[in-house]
A = this chain, B = another copy of it.
Amino acid sequence: MNDGLEILPVRGIGDVTAGDDLAELITKAAPWLANGDVLVVTSKIVSKAEGRLVEVPADGPERDDARVRVLDSETARVVARRGETRIVQTHHGFVMAAAGIDASNVDKTHLVLLPADPDASAHRLRADLAARGLDVAVIVSDTMGRAWRNGLTDVALGAAGIEALLDHRGQIDPYGNELSLTQMAVVDELSAAAELVKGKCDRVPVAVVRGYPYRPDTTGAGASALIRDTESDMFRLGTAEARAEGLEQAAYLSDDVAVRETGRDGIGTAYNRIAEIVTAGTGITATASTFRLTAAGPAPADLLRLGADAHRLRAALAADGLTSGIEFDDDGVTINFGERA
């Protein structure tokens, strides 16, 4: 029982305003803070101390307009929208509802923005505490939603003096299996643990985790190590937004392609799609790099329909990952396989 953790609330911090010295406030409220502790500070008081507030009307449509303007300015890109909800990626890289802008625990004429650079905020606070002779890790935390699961949890926006990820990769379990994928987001877990002793309305914006054998941050990456890069992000857009993007892609497929042979699989896939899509009676001939389609009948309506079918076919091929081009002549259409020219 002697090697567990303690999660300790820091009470009595009171209102924080621009210019306040957080190290001063925290050490006064928690004179028991000790070397090796992990200090978890709610981003809101960091933002307030740093003056990251925006003045807005207290109510009415002017307030709504002002909120939208603030949200726009905090948004790097919109990830998903539904009704009033906007999930965006912030300029920091965090994906959060409403860019983490908060109207709670602040008077009605202000909105609180996230700290401009939460890792830098954590570093400053850690340095200020070091100047007081305290060697503690610092995490700046905030409350976030997640995909697929109801409810919010606290996670780390910034960190200093602690490695954000604990890498188990390469370790061997007792059965001789090498752990291949396990990197634990320990600063997120510490933030979540700290939230359990905080509270949304009762002004406990800081908690201390005592007894956690954290690894010093050797890379200096802080919590930015937790931001998934674009390349590995499989959920860059909401489903509705990505689906609309697919429809949009279908509308603007380029007719030009650098013609190349497609493999057996490509030809098979294309034949299946053609069978599903083209009107009965359409003429079909194929080579390894092209399909040639001729209209089911001689009437102008038959040509119009073949043109539409050919474009349907190209959208379906794109859904299958096949790039196509098209040429129109007076006898029919040629669908070419290859690479975008």
Q: Which of B149, B150, B155, B251 makes the CB contact (< 8 A) with A316?
A: B251
Query: Are B308's CB and A143's CB within 8 A?
Result: no
Among residues of B, the one whose C-beta sits closest to the C-beta of A316 is: B251
Tell me, in angstroms, the Cα distance from A94 to B82 when the chains sit together: 22
Residues of B within 8 A of A66 (CB): none
Q: Name A166-186 residues within 8 Å CB distance of B.
A: 168, 171-177, 179, 181-186
Query: Are A247's CB and B4's CB within 8 A?
Result: no
- Nearest Cβ on chain B to A290's Cβ, whole angstroms: 16
Among residues of B, the one whose C-beta sits closest to the C-beta of A98 is: B181
Query: Are B308's CB and A153's CB within 8 A?
Result: no
Given contacts A188-B192, A234-B82, contact A315 B248 (CB under 8 A): yes
Given contacts A149-B185, A150-B185, contact A80 B193 (CB under 8 A): no
Q: Which of B6, B103, B251 makes the CB contact (< 8 A) with A6?
A: B6
Query: Are A147's CB and B234's CB within 8 A?
Result: yes
Query: Are A228's CB and B149's CB within 8 A?
Result: yes
Task: Check: A49 CB closer than 8 A to any chain B CB.
Answer: no
Tell me, in angstroms, the Cα distance from A186 to B151 when the chains sit together: 8
Kindly supply a per-residue 1/0 record for chain A positions 235-251, scoring 1 wherever the CB is within 8 Å of any chain B CB and 0 otherwise.
11111111111111111
How big is the A interface, by class? 35 or more
Query: Are A177's CB and B312's CB within 8 A?
Result: no
Q: Which of B185, B235, B243 makes the CB contact (< 8 A) with A245?
A: B243
Task: Check: A289 CB closer than 8 A to any chain B CB.
Answer: no
Given contacts A8-B1, A165-B151, A251-B273, contact A196 B189 (CB under 8 A): yes
Query: Are B151's CB and A316's CB within 8 A?
Result: no
Query: Are A245's CB and B248's CB within 8 A?
Result: no
Kindly supply a per-residue 1/0 record for chain A positions 56-97, scoring 1 wherever the CB is within 8 Å of any chain B CB and 0 otherwise.
000000000000000000000000101001010100001101
- Nearest Cβ on chain B to A319's Cβ, whole angstroms: 4
Given contacts A311-B307, A316-B251, contact A179 B193 (CB under 8 A): no
Query: Are B316's CB and A152's CB within 8 A?
Result: no
Task: Check: A120 CB closer than 8 A to any chain B CB.
Answer: no
Residues of B within 8 A of A319 (CB): 244-245, 247-248, 251
Among residues of B, the one whose C-beta sits closest to the C-beta of A176 is: B108
Given contacts A80-B234, A251-B313, contact A179 B200 (CB under 8 A): yes
Residues of B within 8 A of A305 (CB): 307, 328
Residues of B within 8 A of A8 (CB): 1, 4
